[in-house]
Amino acid sequence: MVSDEPQPLVALASAVQRPVAEVRRAVQRLVADYDGEDGGVRRGFELREVGGGWRIYVRPEHDELVRDFVLTQSPTRLSQAALETLAVIAYKQPISRGQVAAIRAVNVDSVVRTLVGRGLIEEVATDPETGAVLYGTTALMLTHLGINSLDELPPISPLLAGVDEVADVL
């Protein structure tokens, strides 16, 4: 569970200081136990031999559930560009990519794709005049921020110098 790579029997035997044949039998018993053989409970994970070693995998029937969990619990941090883009969308939604790009003065296409991929923003409408896709934040973004609604976002104006000029842009 703690290794990123499948572990060969020799490495496992070395780690537990037991003969390879004994570790092979133990691994086979674990495989049978995890599969629910002999009347046991079939686990949501399996011990699988791949790439010359053994590794624990989620069972295929649980892939979607685990994928969704991992995506919502992703410990990776957002880049500065992603945070800035997310802030613009949170305060100005619904807003198009072009409008976000105009505010940030940089191309935001890849950042918007990243935020959509992480489930933090979503397509919420289409601009009737231009046909541009408009984006808004998701409930997942609120959860990550620990707030219940966008009304709980701090006001922008106290954070900015020259608020009157900046407020016109935002």
Residue 68's identity, in one-letter code, is D
Residue 170 has pLDDT above 60, yes or no: no
Please give the pLDDT value at position 166. 46
For residue range 2-19, what is the model confidence (pLDDT) as tens digits? 777 889 999 999 999 999
Q: Which residues of 7-40 are buried (b: 16+ CB within 10 A; e: fewer)?
A: bebeebbeeeeeeeeebeeebeeeeeebeeeeee
pTM: 0.52
HSE at residue 9, side-chain half, CA atoms within 13 A, is 12
Residue 160 has pLDDT above 70, yes or no: no
Q: Which of 1-15, 71-85, 131-145 has the lowest mean pLDDT?
A: 71-85
Ordered strands of the 121-126 beta sheet: 95-96, 133-137, 121-126
